[in-house]
Chains A and B, each alone.
Chain A
């Protein structure tokens, strides 16, 4: 792979800094997902509250990274791989920020759930969360390493998340149909599952961006592109 550095060392530094900040943001989001699920399992409302506040760092990082990208675009006029990298980072932080917000949403549901007794032992949700966290981590690593194969593996895992969600949903449905008293807690749990599923979707987006960035070909929205090509 390309081990060559830019002749302009300052530019090289700026790109490195950008990568570091992106990874930092990713690790914060990962932590939010992890701690919100821990707050659920351990019924720790304080942790949930702290998690909600932790999202502020994520928002701040989004603004900072946006600024860095703009600066590089204006001053360096990047082209080819550099251009693809910077524009994808711009898009990636949007997804990451949404993931952070979804983590906050999870924590909010956790706070609501903690006011009542747990409906059932939590098995699938933590599994889903672990899987989602791993997808995020892998997507970001693929981003920084410019590894399209790694990214594709993330994309493939999304199906599993969807299946998990469907399974959880069916299970919660039976709980709700059994007894009206379960509805409150079941809907909250279903929301949490939905949030996790959407977090996974965002991680998949990141992976698709990696493929575009590395290959230069857009693999997003395959259905709409086929339509256009036919025309």
Chain B
């Protein structure tokens, strides 16, 4: 099902006929969708519907899964990311990712945030420090950790660790931030912080978020895509999806008539 976004709005990611398979089994697709720049797009759907698979296709993380085949076209700002000769490493620098369970490295807070910069070849200590501070600020974590950048990241609370992972992803200054159920392992207050953070981030980044919490999708996103059994069933503004969806499967899912 085609998504119709605002005509004329800047498109960050353009997906056309994307199909992901493991061996001969089709896991997701074909999906065609356009993700608008500097907006939050939420992907919802029951377990196993393909939304996480779709998300991972946007930064070529599916390449790391054995036996995974991706067909179709994904364009970031007009450039095909699955084109011949395109380095997935480059793609991942422009499309960052935050995972469901926070996964900070067992290094210091500073080294965690600086990791992406260092592997990208940045050497200038002053520049790294500046970027780290900016990233931590953007992730609303700077004030809490500015005096203990040399301590281990594993000493932070769950919510702080997740914000650290966000800062780590932001440090390389991507264009798009992918978030795979970023708050599902957090308590309500930490979740609220993350959602507030997303509101701030979207001023500078395009955000695509997978969530199984429908209220969260409703609170946080501008557009919502409903996936079911590997297909994109409906893609529309969040208001439309949650007040008058056009597909009955969408209606059934959001009102809890499934299963």
Q: Does B215 count as interface, using CB distance less than 8 angstroms?
A: yes
Is the beta-carbon distance between B256 and A80 smaller than 8 angstroms?
Answer: no
Chain B residues near A4 (CB, 8 Å)? Answer: 252, 257
Binds B, one of A81-89, A91-99, A199-207, A223-231: A81-89
Q: Does B99 count as interface, using CB distance less than 8 angstroms?
A: no
Chain B residue nearest to A213 (CB atoms) is B244
Is the beta-carbon distance between B256 and A8 smaller than 8 angstroms?
Answer: yes
Q: Does A216 count as interface, using CB distance less than 8 angstroms?
A: yes
Distance in Å: Cβ of A5 to nearest Cβ of chain B: 7
**Chain B residues touching A, majority SS:** helix
Is the beta-carbon distance between B256 and A11 smaller than 8 angstroms?
Answer: yes
Distance in Å: Cβ of B255 to nearest Cβ of chain A: 5
Is the beta-carbon distance between A77 and B257 smaller than 8 angstroms?
Answer: no
Known contacts A2-B248, A216-B243, A216-B244; A81/B256 CB under 8 A: no
Q: Does B254 count as interface, using CB distance less than 8 angstroms?
A: yes
Distance in Å: Cβ of B105 to nearest Cβ of chain A: 38
Is the beta-carbon distance between B243 and A83 smaller than 8 angstroms?
Answer: yes
Distance in Å: Cβ of A71 to nearest Cβ of chain B: 17
Is the beta-carbon distance between B254 and A7 smaller than 8 angstroms?
Answer: no
Chain A residues near B215 (CB, 8 Å)? Answer: 77
Is the beta-carbon distance between B255 and A79 smaller than 8 angstroms?
Answer: yes
Out of B244, B255, B258, name the residue touching A78 (CB < 8 Å): B255
Most chain A Cβ neighbours within 10 Å, of B243, B252, B257, B258:
B257
Chain A residues near B257 (CB, 8 Å)? Answer: 2, 4-7
Is the beta-carbon distance between A81 and B251 smaller than 8 angstroms?
Answer: yes
CA–CA, A11 and B257, complex, Å:
11
Is the beta-carbon distance between B256 and A2 smaller than 8 angstroms?
Answer: no
Task: Map CB proximity to A onto B116-142 as digits: 1 under 8 Å, 0 otherwise.
Answer: 000000000000000000000000000
User: How many of chain B's residues touch chain A, expressed as a range?
Assistant: 10 to 19
Q: Which residues of chain A from 118 to 143 have a CB within 8 Å of any chain B CB? A: none
Distance in Å: Cβ of A214 to nearest Cβ of chain B: 10
Is the beta-carbon distance between B256 and A7 smaller than 8 angstroms?
Answer: yes
Chain B residue nearest to A2 (CB atoms) is B248
Distance in Å: Cβ of B174 to nearest Cβ of chain A: 32
Task: Map CB proximity to A onto B172-212 as digits: 1 under 8 Å, 0 otherwise.
Answer: 00000000000000000000000000000000000000000
Out of A5, A6, A8, A79, name the residue touching B243 (CB < 8 Å): A79
Distance in Å: Cβ of A220 to nearest Cβ of chain B: 15
Most chain A Cβ neighbours within 10 Å, of B241, B243, B250:
B243
Task: Map CB proximity to A onto B64-84 as digits: 1 under 8 Å, 0 otherwise.
Answer: 000000000000000000000
Out of A7, A11, A80, name the residue touching B244 (CB < 8 Å): A80
Q: Does B23 count as interface, using CB distance less than 8 angstroms?
A: no
Q: Which residues of chain B from 213 to 259 have a CB within 8 Å of any chain A CB? A: 214-215, 218, 241-245, 248, 250-252, 254-259
List 14 other contacts, CB 8 Å, given A2-B257, A7-B257, A7-B258: A2-B248, A2-B251, A4-B252, A5-B257, A6-B255, A11-B256, A77-B215, A79-B242, A79-B243, A79-B254, A79-B255, A83-B242, A215-B244, A216-B244
